[in-house]
Structure 1
Amino acid sequence: MEPLLTFDEDLLTGTVVDRPNRFVVRVRFDDAPERAFLGDPGALEGTVEPGREILCSPADDPDRATDYDAIAVDVEGVYVSVRTALANDLFERALSRDAIPAFDGYATRKREPSLPDHGRTDFLLDSPDEETAYVEVKSCTHVEDGVAKFPDRQTERGRRHLRSLDALREDGYETHVVFVVQRPDVERFRPYREVDPEFGDLLARVRDAGVGVHAVTTAFEPPHYRLRNDDLPVELG
């Protein structure tokens, strides 16, 4: 399958030393550890762990506090992408190719549109029947025994997004949330109720009310990102 995206910058292989804060991981390449920006502020338990192989890209910006960007971590032979913002690009590229059955014939009208009441969501789409559809995209990397789980930290922001989608649905708009699992070693998706039971309950409630809930998986095979599963089973319980 043709790649969704290709990473065109240099990649360096290092080893995770530690994670001093949510947005920084220290990486050893040859000598002293270097600081790399971590674009995924999640807990990342089992992923960003000392001793794991990590791919980083040099950042040529003297004003930055970090000299590298963390790109992906090798977890038992599988590269796990640690770039949360990339989920939107992967979804949009798959959408443009009609590669996700649930969105066949849809097209992007606008990214990060303002909502009628307040705030923003990730995408405003035109549906095949010329209606409006709002889509929120969530990046997911936590996997246990083949089950992708979101969120891996408490997320009031995520709960607020679900409530906004449900309010839009009540106003007559088509709404969806899409979980982009940025690793391929997955068989199904579930909300991570042990971490955020309210999010899990809310996700089930809005789906029952008519909000579309979808999940897909991607694979990073350096330097390419590919769509692996275009319709990952979603189990809400």
Structure 2
Amino acid sequence: MHYNSIKKGIFINRPNRFVANVLIDGITETVHVKNTGRCKEILVKGTTVFLEESSNLNRKTRYSLVAAYKGDTLINIDSQAPNHVVYEAILQNKIKDFKDVLTLKKEVTFGKSRFDLYFENKSEKGFIEVKGVTLEKDGTAMFPDAPTVRGTRHILEMIDVVNNKYKGYILFLVQLKGVKCFTPNKEMDPEFDAALKKAKSKGVEILVYDSIVREDGLEIGEPVASTI
């Protein structure tokens, strides 16, 4: 996934989860934050950040914050990016679990649920729910970074997919490089942790990949071990 126009800035503060103040070319700009998670360990005053400049002159904010450095590690925090990255990776046969896919669709409804991706190959049909991961601590990637009722519901709904003879996948895309493993953030959201473990026991496949992060883009990386 590639961003067309990127600017470098310095993070100042985040008045609410939707906007931040960033110093760009010596001017303080209010920018859109493309992630409603907390990101407190990433968005620290003085942090170098990267922003996508919009071509829409009618937008309230000219820029969207899409990536930031945490120490020497560049982290993509664009919550819309993982779906695009996984979609592209499947089309390019970069994920071994989804080789030779014949049909791939976005935002497909099953029952009362709408999942990120639907796929078909010669022998299988199934649904994929993608979760972007930005929280990292001591080499371990964790999700979520804030309680997520919606995320827990998605996990439990995937069990219905498997019960109806479809394949069901939860794919966590870690939006940085260099993590050693992934684990659900039980301390932050015990219900999500329990739902994920239940889904795995019922036959839902759990996949974790890291990412190759650039200032102007993001692409799928390598599989990451998990402790689910």
Q: What is the identity, as a one-letter code, of the residue corresponding to 2:23?
A: R
- Alpha-carbon deviation of 1:108? 4.1
After TM superposition, list the pairs within 5 Å mapping 1:1-237 onto structure 2.
5-7=1-3, 9-115=4-110, 117-129=111-123, 131-229=124-222, 231-236=223-228
Q: For the Cα contact (< 8 Å) 2:67–2:215, is it kept in 1?
A: no
- Alpha-carbon deviation of 1:64? 2.0
Give unpaired runs (5+ residues) of structure 2: none
Q: What is the identity, as a one-letter code, of the residue corresponding to 2:41?
A: G
Ranges of 4+ aligned residues in structure 1 off by more than 3 Å: none
Q: For the Cα contact (< 8 Å) 1:12–1:56, is it kept in 2?
A: yes
- Secondary structure in structure 1 of the residue aligned to 2:211: strand
Q: Deviations over 1:1-27 (max 9, x none)?
A: xxxx332x2221110000011111110
* Greater mean deviation of Cα atoms: 154-163 or 216-225: 216-225
Q: For the Cα contact (< 8 Å) 1:127–1:133, is it kept in 2?
A: no
| % same residue | 25
Kindly report the root-mean-square deviation, in angstroms, between the aligned alpha carbons of the 2 structures: 1.4
- Alpha-carbon deviation of 1:78? 1.7
Q: For the Cα contact (< 8 Å) 2:76–2:218, is it kept in 1?
A: no
Q: Deviations over 1:177-215 (max 9, x none)?
A: 000111112111100011001100110111011000011
> For the residues of structure 2 that align with 1:31 and 1:188, how far apart are their CA atoms?
39
Q: Between Structure 1 and Structure 2, how many residues are aligned?
A: 228
- Alpha-carbon deviation of 1:102? 2.2
User: TM-score, normalised to structure 2's length?
Assistant: 0.95
Give unpaired runs (5+ residues) of structure 1: none
- Secondary structure in structure 1 of the residue aligned to 2:88: helix
Q: What is the identity, as a one-letter code, of the residue corresponding to 1:127?
A: N
